[in-house]
Amino acid sequence: MFEFITHTLQEYPDAMLEQEARVQAILHHQKDPCLIFSQHPACYTLGTSGHMDDVLKTEPCGQSIPVYKTGRGGEVTYHGPGQLMVYVLADLRKKQDLHQHIWNLEELIIQSLQHFSIQAQRNSRGIGVWVGDNKIAAVGVRCRRWVTWHGVALNISPDLSHYQGIVACGMQDNPVTSMEKQGLTVQRETLEKVLQQHCLSLFS
């Protein structure tokens, strides 16, 4: 079984607490794996490879943006309104292949964007999903005893100027894009339905 959970808006620390609790429940066979859709107020997050030096300014465009340290893999990234968080809490204890899990996360986004006629792919510059030379989705995961959490940040229509405050994923040229910038307007609910369909085929 795979459960789907949706939050309209959720503070980033609250999202981490929810996932920590769910991971413990999955480890103890009390709850099933799940996919959590969420959206956060504007914030920067530092992964295990991230450094505060990569946070260039916390007030781009005059808006103060908090910084949170997090246990996911990766460097520094941005979360905010107009970005869909796709948190996949998966039980890998039978397969124990984290590289395959990350590939599946990327594939989830690639197949879903294909549904909207956006041609996305992987890129040798780093983990994530790209449209041409620009990153449309960042991927970062954490794994505890082969149960994963964190996941994907997919840019639907965020304020891309907020990326100017960081060296996103260690890339100085900050090559980011969004579905909106690719000329597509899509409702979050519509996108979530497509993601759910592909999630079941990839993670069930």
Residue 167 predicted with pLDDT over 90:
no
Domain with 101, as residue range(s), is: 3-203
- Give the separation between CA 117 and CA 131, rounded to whole angstroms: 11
In the block, tokens 């759910």 appear at 196
**∠ CA(161), CA(163), CA(168), 5° rounding?**
160
> What residue type is assigned to position 130 of the chain?
W
Q: What is the CA radius of gyration of the chain?
A: 16
DSSP-assigned letter for residue 97 = -
Residue 204 predicted with pLDDT over 80:
no
Q: Give catalytic residues, as residue numbers.
A: 169
Is 105 strand, coil or helix? helix
Encode pLDDT of 95-116 as tens digits.
999 999 999 999 999 999 999 9
Residue 173 predicted with pLDDT over 90:
no
Q: The domain that contains 116 carries what CATH number?
A: 3.30.930.10
pLDDT-above-70 percentage for the chain:
100
107 to 62, 85, 114, 125, 198: CA distances (angstroms):
36, 15, 10, 17, 9
Predicted TM-score (pTM) of this structure: 0.95
Q: For 7-133, where are the E strands, in sequence order?
A: 34-38, 43-46, 67-69, 76-79, 83-89, 121-123, 126-131
Encode pLDDT of 27-41 as tens digits.
999 999 999 999 999
Quote the pLDDT of residue 62: 78
The number of domains in the chain is 1
